[in-house]
Structure 1
Amino acid sequence: MPDLNPAALDFLLHRRSRPSKTLALPVPTQEQLVPMLTAAARSPDHGKLEPWRFIVLEEGALRRLSNLVHSRGEALGKDSADIDKASYQFASAHLVVAVVECQKSSAKVPAIEQTYSAGAVCLAMLNAALASGWGANWLSGWASHDRGFVEVGLGLNEDERIAGFIHLGTETTAPPERPRPNLDEITAWMAA
């Protein structure tokens, strides 16, 4: 019989991301954030390649990125509503962890598995924050896929990309439950 961890399972069965617009001060300190980053870094990583890294974005960096979204959006011909929405994502935030996917050359580990690992890091970071009592949300958006934005704003190399922005803060309102997938519709059981 396996060792049970009912508290962990209960957490996973009831976890719920918090809308980023509802996250307020205070935010985790560096000392409080390190265990969350450590937990996220324990994600599945075939070949121990560590095909990801973190950039912790504090308020000054977030304001700068909000301004950069405006100039990049205009250069790309985005409409003002898309620009404002993407800019607000940074302007309204107090602390964000950018999870950067860093593909590594490997004969054994395909690129797609490295992408999956970076996604696992995002979810682990989100869950570690929620388990630590903080509100958290995983966002991306058009700016995260714009080379000009990520290279100028975040210093990413040409072979790096954003896997996600994990917004952190104090939850101000509890989100309502949302419909969940119907397991009968998405699960196939194969005995042979």
Structure 2
Amino acid sequence: MQALDLLLERRSIANLVEPAPEGKALENIIKAGLRAPDHGNLTPWRFVIAQGEGLRKLADILVHAAEVNQSSDAVIEKLKKAPFRAPMVITVIAKVKEHEKVPALEQYLSAGCAAQAMQMAAVAQGFQGFWRSGEWMFHQEVHQAFGLEGEDQIVGFLYLGTPGCSAMKVPERNIADYVSYL
């Protein structure tokens, strides 16, 4: 797949099945994340991979946070199943470092770029994915389970696997609606 086509045709696919990336393919995905823009060379990212039993552990972390919140049974049941929507989930974390020239915001953006690069590397190798966020990535119990400190933040859960369906058509957008010139 050509690089420009990869970017112009980017589409999340939420129906993911086995196999998940492994070996060299997974290594390429991680390496792509490590190439994200990184002002100050701080490497402000960490990637926690869950697959197999790790998906159950991720579900347990989410369910525990929901129980602490006294969430409804429906929310808890949904969270029990959430990680199993793909054979692999990579939690992308911004590990914020104190720096006089690189504020936390830049480090969050860098971690977000890492997630995007990882998703694109997966697609380039024949896999697919989708990037999820939501209230649970901000929950103190989830942060504690992942060892977050200070201004650290989960920037998303990157679900990866093999496409279980065809991608929907990429929506057409009028460039003029989003661009202006000084």
Q: Is the Cα–Cα contact under 8 Å of residues 143 and 150 in structure 1 kept in the other structure?
A: no
CA deviation after TM superposition for structure 1 residue 71, in Å: 2.9
Q: Deviations for 1:131-183, whole angstroms, at most 9, x for unmatched residues?
A: 1110111112222111112312x333344221111111111101212534431
Give 3-state SS (helix, strand or coil) of 1:136's partner: strand
Determine whether 1:25 maps to 2:18: yes
Q: 1:172 to 1:63 in 2, by over 3 A?
A: same
Please tell me whether residue 175 in structure 1 is matched to residue 170 in structure 2: no
Distance 2:102 2:91 in 1: 23
Look up the match of 1:3: none
TM-score by length of 2: 0.90
Structure 1 position 38 matched with structure 2 position 46 = no
1:64 and 2:57 aligned:
yes
Tell me: CA distance 1:177–1:83, structure 2 relative to 1, closer, same or farther (3 Å). farther
Structure 1 unaligned regions, length at least 5: 1-5
Aligned length: 182
Show the counterpart of 1:134.
127
| Per-residue CA distance 1:88-118 (angstroms, 9 max, x = gap) | 2213332111111011111111221111111
Indicate conservation of the 8 Å contact 2:92/2:157, yes or no: yes
The 5 Å alignment of 1:1-192 reads 7-19=2-14, 22-152=15-145, 154-190=146-182
Instruction: From the superposition, tell whether residues 140 and 86 of structure 1 become closer, same or farther in structure 2 (CA, over 3 Å).
Output: farther
Larger Rg: 1
Percent of pairs with identical residues: 34
Instruction: Give the C-alpha shift of residue 73 in structure 1.
Output: 0.8
CA distance in 2, matches of 1:111, 1:155: 18
CA distance in 2, matches of 1:80, 1:178: 36
Q: Which sections of structure 2, spanning at least 5 residues, go unmatched?
A: none
Give runs of ≥4 in structure 1 deviating > 4 Å: none
How far apart in 1 are the matches of 2:150 and 2:55?
22
Q: With the length of structure 1 as denominator, give the TM-score of the two structures.
A: 0.86
Which letter maps to 1:142?
A: E
Instruction: Write out per-residue CA displacement over residues 22-48 of structure 1, whole angstroms, 9 at most, x where no aligned residue.
Output: 111111113320111101111111110
Tell me, in whole angstroms, the C-alpha distance in 1 between the residues paired with 2:150 and 2:45: 14
* CA RMSD across the alignment: 1.9
State the one-letter code of the partner of 1:187: V
